[in-house]
Amino acid sequence: MSARPTSLVSKMGPLVTTLLVTALVAAISYFAPESWSASLVGLTFLGTTYWLCVVSATTEQVRACGLSLGGLFESEPIEFRRIARDTLVAVKYALLASILIFPPFILAFVFWWHPTHAFHFRAPQSWNDELLGQALVVALPEEAFYRGYLMNALDKTSQRRWRLLGVDVGPSLLWSSALFAIGHFATDPNPSRLAVFFPAILFGWLRIRTGGIGTGVVFHVLCNVFASILGRGYGLWV
C-alpha cells in the first residue's frame, strides 16, 4: 500500500487512528446541531473508512477490509447476481443470529430496565426513517470503520489466533470491540453504553465468518430496531 494517501496515518497505528476518530465524532456529537449530529458522525466514519481502505486500493485490499459488499467497491465491473447472492447470505446469517440472540436479549432487557408495565407493541413514526436511518447513519458507518478498517488493520499487527465457535479469531476481535464501546461512551458518557462491547464481539465474529461486513450491517440494524421496539413497547422511550 505504499502508494496509498494514508502513509502518515498508517505509521501512527490503527489504535491511535481510532482514538483520533473517536475524539472527532465525540466533538461532533457534542457541538453539532442535534438534528445533524448523527448524520455527521456517520459521514465521518464512512469518509475515514473510504480514505483508509478504498481510495487507490486494489480489489484484494478492499476485500481484506471486508468492504466488497457484493463488489460495489471493487475495481471490477459490478455483477448484480453477485450482489443478490451476497445480500441473501448476509440476510440469512443475520436472521439466524437474531433467532439465537433475541430471546435471551429480551430477558436481559427486562432485567436491566425493570419496565413497570406489560409490553404493548408501538410502531415507529416511520418505518422508512427507522430502517434507513439505522442502516445508513448507524450500522453501515460503524461496521465499515470498526469491523472493516480497524479489524483488518489490527490483524496485520498480530498473528495470534484462537478458535471461537468454529472461526479463527485474533486480538483484533477484542480490541475493536473495546474501542467500539469506548466510542459509544465518548459520545454519551453513561456506563451502560459500554455494554455494546458484547454485541460488538458478535458483529466481529460475523465479519470473520462471512469475510465481509454485510452480515454485520444487517444484524446491527435488526438489533437496534429490535431494541427500539422493546423500549417503545415497554414505555421506556418514545
238 within a domain of the structure (yes/no)? no
63 within a domain of the structure (yes/no)? yes
Q: Is the pLDDT of residue 159 over 90?
A: no
21 within a domain of the structure (yes/no)? yes
Whether this model's pTM surpasses 0.85: yes
Q: Which domain holds residue 207?
A: 7-233
- Give burial (CB, 10 Å; 0-12/13-18/19+) of 55: exposed
Q: In the chain, how many domains are there? A: 1
2 within a domain of the structure (yes/no)? no
Helix axes 34-53, 14-31, angle to 10 degrees: 160
* Confidence band for 22, pLDDT divided at 50, 70 and 90: very high
Give the count of alpha carbons within 13 A of 58, CB side only: 6
Q: Is the pLDDT of residue 121 over 60?
A: yes
Q: Is the pLDDT of residue 6 over 50?
A: no
pLDDT at 9: 52
Cβ distance 168 to 70 under 8 Å? no
What are the backbone angles phi and psi of residue 231, rounded to the nearest 5°? Answer: -60, -45
Q: Is the pLDDT of residue 204 over 80?
A: yes
